Structure 1
C-alpha cells in the first residue's frame, strides 16, 4: 500500500513536467495537443456496450494488435472494441487499419492518475481489458482489479534491461503484475523474467506479429513502387531512428553501386523533413514517396514519407536494413520483411526482438552485422547475388509461416477471462 501511495504522489509531482513534455512534442507533432481531455479521463465518444478494451501504445503495438482485434470482432459480434493509445501515430495507425469498421472506437489512455483511471472505466465500462506487450500502469490495473475488470497482458515481452528497471521497485511491481488476470508471453525468456518479477500463471503464447498477413493492397502498392524505380537494385533502410540515417547514408554513398537506390523510411513521421535535409546536405539526389512521381534515374535516395505502407516498402526492396538496430534502440520488427520474402540485415542492437532476431538468423532469413559499414557490405553483396537473395527470401517466408498461431492461443485466454467475468 505504501508503494502504491508513493507512486501516486510521484505521479502528481511529475504531472507538470509530463504536460511540458507533451507541449514540447507538440512543437513537432501538433496532434499531441488534440483530444487532451482524454488523457485525464474525459471522453466525447461513448462506446455501445458491451466493450472489449485493447490498449496499444503506439504504431508497433497497434499493428501487432490487428490480428487479435479482428479475431475479437469475429468471435464477439455483439461487442464494441475500444482501442486506446498513447501517441498520435498509434491512433492514426488504428484509423488506417480499422477506420471503416464501425465496431472499433479509439481514444487515448488516461494518465495513471486515480481520478482519470476511474473516469475512464466508468465511461466505457469494459468487460475485459487486453494490454499489448509491456504497458504496466499500476493505478490503472489496480482500478481494474477493484472493479472486477480482468486484464490480460498479451504478446508480452520483457527485455533484460526492462526487467532490471522494474526490479528497482519490487513491491510496486509485484502488486502491478499481481493485478493482471492473465499474461501471454512471447517467449520462454519473457515468461521467466515476468515470473521473476512476481507474475504467476504466465503462458507462452508466441508473437502475434507472426499472424499479420501482408495485405494484398500493400503488396500491389509495392509492385507499383517497384515500377516507379525500374530495374535498379533497391536497398531499404526500414524504420530508422535518430542518428542512424547519417551512418546509413555515409555507408551507402561509400559502398553501394552507382545504379542502386536507397529507400529510406524513418520510424517517426515528425522526422521526415529532418531526414530529407540530411540527404540533401550529403549531396545525394532525393525524391519523396509523397510526390507520387516516377523515380528519376539519377535519384539515389527515395524518402518513404508515408504511414502504414511498410509492407509495400518491403515488397519493393531487394534487401532490407532494419532500423533501430544500428544504435542502441533495441531494433524494430523484422517479421514483416520475412513474411514478404525480403532478405534482412540486422545491426548489433536487437534486444527488443532478441529471440525473433536469433531465430531468423538461424533460419537463414537474416544476417547480423557488427556496425553499419559491415551491414552495408552484406547488403551490397546480397544485391549482387540473386541466388542468395532468393534463398534468404524463401527462408524468411518459411520462418514467418512456421511461427504463426499466437492469436489463437491468446484468444483461448481471452475466452477464459470472459467466462470468469
Structure 2
C-alpha cells in the first residue's frame, strides 16, 4: 500500500452479500469525506472476484488469515482511522489489535441471535470480541435487546443497509419505456 497522508477507513466484508450491505456506507463515507481512502477487504472469492475493480474503494484485498502476526502487519500497513466490519465478521486478532491501537471499530448491519455463543454461559471469549467494538449498528430491535442483556449499550437499530442499496438501484432505473 502506497504511503499517503490521506485518512483511511477500512471496511471488511466476508463476501458479496456483505459487500452489498456495506456498499451504501462506503458510498456515504466517500461522498461526505472525499479525501478519505477506502480500504476494502474480503474473506471469500465471491466478493473479491466480483468487486476487485470496484471504483468506490481505493484499495481492495483479501484479508489475511486471522493470526496475531497477520493482524499486526495488516493494521500497520493500512493504518486505518476507522474500521467497519459488516454483519457477522468477528476476527479476534484484528479486533484485538484495533482495540489496542484505539482504532474506532463499528459493526454494520449486524444480526444477533440468542443461540450464538455471545449469549451462552460458555461465551466469555466471544463476549471479549464484542468489547472491541466502539459501536454496533444492528438490523432489528431483537439484536439490540440481546446485546443490552449482556451489558452492551452502544447499539443503534438502523435496519438492513441492503434496502438502501436496492432503493438506490431502483431510483436509477428508467421505467418510462
Band the TM-score falls in, shorter-chain normalisation: 0.7 to 0.9
Counterparts in 2 of 1:195 and 1:111: CA distance versus 1, 3 Å: farther
CA distance in 2, matches of 1:63, 1:46: 27
Q: Does 1:94 align with 2:44?
A: no
Q: What's the secondary structure of 1:77's corresponding residue?
A: coil
- The structure-2 alpha-carbon separation of the partners of 1:146 and 1:115, relative to structure 1 and needing over 3 Å to count, comes to same
Cα distance, 1:91 vs. partner?
A: 1.0
Q: Indicate which of 159, 166, 169 corresponds to 1:214.
A: 169
Question: Offset of 1:46 from its aligned partner?
Answer: 3.5
Q: 2:148 aligns with which of 189, 195, 205?
A: 195
2:70 to 87, 95, 116: 116
Give the drift of 1:195: 3.0
Aligned match of 2:89: 135
Matched, 1:50 2:7: yes
Counterpart residue number, 1:158: 112
Q: 2:135 matched to which residue of 1?
A: 182
Distance 2:99 2:77 in 1: 16
Bigger Rg, structure 1 or 2: 1
Gaps of 5+ in 2: none
2:17 paired residue number? 60
Name the CA shift for 1:173/1:116 in 2 (closer, same or farther; >3 Å): same
Q: TM-score, normalised by structure 2?
A: 0.86
Seen in structure 2, the aligned counterparts of structure 1 residues 166 and 113 have a Cα distance that, compared at 3 Å, is farther
Q: CA deviation at 1:156?
A: 0.7
Q: Which runs of 5+ in 1 are unaligned?
A: 1-44, 224-421
Q: Tell me how many residue pairs correspond in the alignment.
A: 172
Aligned-residue RMSD, C-alpha: 2.3
**64-73 vs 186-195, which moves further:** 186-195
Deviation at 1:60, TM superposition (A): 0.5
SS of the equivalent of 1:106 reads: strand
Tell which has more relative contact order, 1 or 2 (C-alpha 8 A, sep 6+). 2
SS at match of 1:154: strand
